[in-house]
Structure 1
Amino acid sequence: MSNRLSGESSPYLRQHAENPVDWYPWGEAALRRAREEDKPILLSLGYAACHWCHVMAHESFTNPEIARLMNQYFINIKVDRQERPDLDELYQGALQMLGQGGGWPLTVFLTPQGEPFFAGTYFPPADGYGRPGFARVLRELGEAWQQQRTALRQQAGQFLQGYQTLEARLLAAQAPAQEDLPAVAARLFAAHSDPLYGGLGQAPKFPNPAALLQHCLKMQEAG
């Protein structure tokens, strides 16, 4: 049976219409159900040309046991980042506050009020590649919401504080520059380049301007 994504205009969302996951598109129906049932939200953002989005869809979203855990513990929302770049930008910030470089698929766990308390990108179905398995993440976060909800809400509060700090930095960055910004950018790229395999940082090497901006702001603060 098709889920709620079958009638969406996005071809990317319709690709997930036959998943056993009880997907919602982003909207009031999903958010209202999360509030009414006091269940956390699993938000998955991706796009049609994203290789790892399709890998995770094949490995996890078509897996009946993983879908059962998703449906049991969470209200599941699928978003096409090309339709909602505002949501992508907002929740990529939560991922960066965890010290990760960002990328897709973006997997964010939210309170029923939409506040992030945990985030990641691609998760393999079982532990591997130095990453926790998606089934384990679902089970542990779902049980933590039932048994340690106060701690997760505190984590969400820390994310909100981080957003406020980032907003203040962005406002400060609009002030007249005290240093040659191209030189700052050049040092930033050099410091985070991988001389052996190319690209920036370690895998996954998704281009993420927001993450680089945060590094640049830190360098400016350090003088």
Structure 2
Amino acid sequence: MRHFEMDKLKAQGGSVGESKYHESAIKQVCGSANFADDNPEPYGCLHAYPVLAPVTSGFIKSIDTSLALAVEGVKRILSAEDVPGKLDIGPVFPGDVLLTSHEIQYHGQPVLIVVADTYEIARRAARLVVIECEQTTPILDIKKAISKEHWVRPPHSLNRGNSENAINNATHQLKGEINIGGQEHFYLEGQIALAQPDNDGGIHVQCSTQHPTEVQHLVAKILKKPFSFVNVET
């Protein structure tokens, strides 16, 4: 872009060519940002901890929660059958269940939720649950997954104009193959949320999230409550 065009955009109040930082960047970098895990918990608060699948791929044959339920301070162990609404929490596409009761599709998939008086008790009890599985061979190679049409999501494309014709008639063409090991970024905040019932039958959720409306929709769907009865605070 030519210099006079850059100057014109800056004069109009644009952001082209200017360094901008996120509105919460200074607090996060300096360690002064407040997250849900920093706030004191209310009196009588119960803590939940997930029981994770012991294999990467397979099917659940049996679950023994007797040792976990015998731990003092454990209030209840929740399964998929205890969810009053829909189990699927896929925010864009379906296929991501909150708790599995049959097929295990990935390592560490949540199976149960232990609810106890403290975080430590819930975590200790969760590790006492015995899950017997019929283990299957996971598909870890992308080419094998494609050949078996074992999709996480079916392929889809966005097209504008005749892309095939444009590529075939392009002056310069490059053809090759690349493998990218996608990684999830490391979160700054603790993975925690606080949920409290209100006097009108609704749920007030405090959590550290980038998408409070998405959380509101999913919580309402899981609890089978009207969207307006779930309030999310970040």
Which structure carries more strand by proportion?
2
Q: Which structure: larger Rg?
A: 2
- Work out which structure has the larger RCO, using CA pairs closer than 8 Å and 6 or more positions apart in sequence: 2
TMscore range, shorter length: under 0.3
The TM-score with structure 2 as length reference comes to: 0.20
Structure with the largest fraction of helix: 1
